[in-house]
Structure 1
Amino acid sequence: MQKLLNYRLKALANRIRDGELRRKVIEFLENPVFEVGGKVYSGLPLDVSPAGLSHHHCYPGGYVEHVVSTANLALAMCSSVEKVYHGKVNRDIVIAGVLLHDVFKPATYVVNENGSYGSSSLADYMDHLSLVVAELVRRDFPLEVIHVVSAHHGDYGPIRPHTVEALICHLADLMDSRLNGEVLNAASYLCRKAVGEEPHGLTSKEAFEIICSKTVEGWEGVAKALERIKRKRTAHKT
């Protein structure tokens, strides 16, 4: 059970106007557990969990970053649909869907002895999407929210988006995961070219620092950025 809900996730949940839906979402985020065969599963705390193992947000805190960034993108698309195309979007459904779409990913991850992340034994039997959809049904969430979550993988999921809200969440999720993955890959490439190695477990903040340093100071800037990152990591450990 989560001891304290991350303030950024709670701030997003508090933007849900429907009181009952808001209560359900906050309760789920505060208690992201499920039971199978009499055994209760929880997984890594949302605050420290990654949102992926290799392609995107694969570092501590990546889960929260991904959810917050995806929500920002989704809400920006809601504004575009409303103001430019004069369409209607239920923002409560969008926010709820984004907040919960990956909520059981941490349950499928473990921290290895070397500090890297791997798949838990649960992941051998169930994927995070099947788990969360089943739990949303069990917790009596609205069908519209369940559809947003079940369709967020788009063409690669069990069902394609059939509502505007589901389409927005799918595209926002895809956009953020691609953005983060491309930035991490670019920063890793710059590190290898500049100094012949890359630091383990680059975060998005570190990756952007490296890329921006290359833009301003060239290859020397990359080396300087790496030194700053190493000093910060060392200071953080002490």
Structure 2
Amino acid sequence: MGIHPKLQSILRKIRDENLRKKVMELLENPVFEADGKTYSGLPLDSSPAGLSHHHSYPGGFIEHVVSSTNIALALCNSVEKIYGGKVNRDIVIAGILLHDLFKPLTYTEKEDGRYDTTKLADYMDHLSLAVSELVRRNFPLELIHVVSAHHGNHGPIKPRTVEALICHLADMADSRLNGEVLNVAAYLVRKVTGEEIPSLTAKEAFEILRSKTLEGLEGVAKTVEKIKRRRTRKA
């Protein structure tokens, strides 16, 4: 399977040809080798980017990378145009593309459509997997730092470059935005129907919030029914 078109579009923004090639090769084949075994995970196109807190639905990984890239580039503009700073955008873009790349290796889909962790995840988390693979493939140290620091205070090292700080803030902002809208929408659905919509997506969640703004709880009820009918047609 080739690289998702949306990831290809982001990849083309990397101006340094050598870095772009290295990132492309990893995106094309995000696997991890240990003890003579090769570990591969869920396809990037359909993988979530989280199990519960954010982007915890099919396609969540791609959405998270695309949205985080938009936020990161906006932060680059602020640093450069407002604060007069300098940013290596190639490192920022590569960092966003790679920061969660090994999450799909730690996820597996169960028969009921829910997600769980893999055996590999019992030994290494996605951040450790990513950093070890970037080191093995001789990626620039500056980029390795961006990936290793993207969890901020909750990771093994805090961001110590402008590029790492931008990637951390972009990742955190998008994760928080996604998680919060899913929580609010899920609350509204429970309040109106007493039920939950399994694997609620952010697009559906924003649709529900918009209906609440326009028509109140009655609008939420209508939107929930519309979402159910739409899912039934796709099944």
Match of 2:5 in 1: 7
Corresponding residue SS for 1:211: helix
Question: CA separation in 2, counterparts of 1:36 and 1:12?
Answer: 30
Match of 1:78 in 2: 76
Structure 2 residue runs of 5 or longer lacking an equivalent are none
Match of 1:55 in 2: 53
Match of 2:184 in 1: 186
Residues 1:34 and 2:32 aligned together: yes
TM-score by length of 1: 0.98
Corresponding residue SS for 1:110: strand
Corresponding residue SS for 1:152: coil
Question: CA separation in 2, counterparts of 1:145 and 1:96?
Answer: 7
Match of 2:137 in 1: 139
Q: Give the partner amino acid of 1:144.
A: E
Match of 2:158 in 1: 160
Aligned-residue offset at 1:42: 1.0
Match of 1:24 in 2: 22
Match of 2:175 in 1: 177
Aligned-residue offset at 1:224: 0.5
Structure 1 residue runs of 5 or longer lacking an equivalent are none
Q: Give the partner amino acid of 2:30.
A: P
Match of 2:99 in 1: 101
Corresponding residue SS for 2:14: coil
Aligned-residue offset at 1:120: 0.6
Q: Give the partner amino acid of 1:75.
A: L
Question: CA separation in 2, counterparts of 1:29 and 1:220?
Answer: 44
Aligned-residue offset at 1:34: 1.6
Residue identity over aligned pairs, in percent, reads 69
How many residue pairs align between the two structures?
235
Match of 1:213 in 2: 211
Corresponding residue SS for 1:200: coil
Q: Deviations over 1:43-75 (max 9, x none)?
A: 000000000000000000000000110010000
Corresponding residue SS for 1:40: strand
Question: CA separation in 2, counterparts of 1:64 and 1:16?
Answer: 18
Q: Deviations over 1:67-126 (max 9, x none)?
A: 110010000000000000010000000000000000000000000111100011111111
Structure 1 moving runs of 4+ over 2 Å:
none
Q: Deviations over 1:148-200 (max 9, x none)?
A: 00000001101000000000000000000000000000000000111111211
Corresponding residue SS for 1:159: coil
TM-score by length of 2: 0.99
Corresponding residue SS for 1:48: coil
Aligned-residue offset at 1:4: 1.2
Corresponding residue SS for 2:205: helix
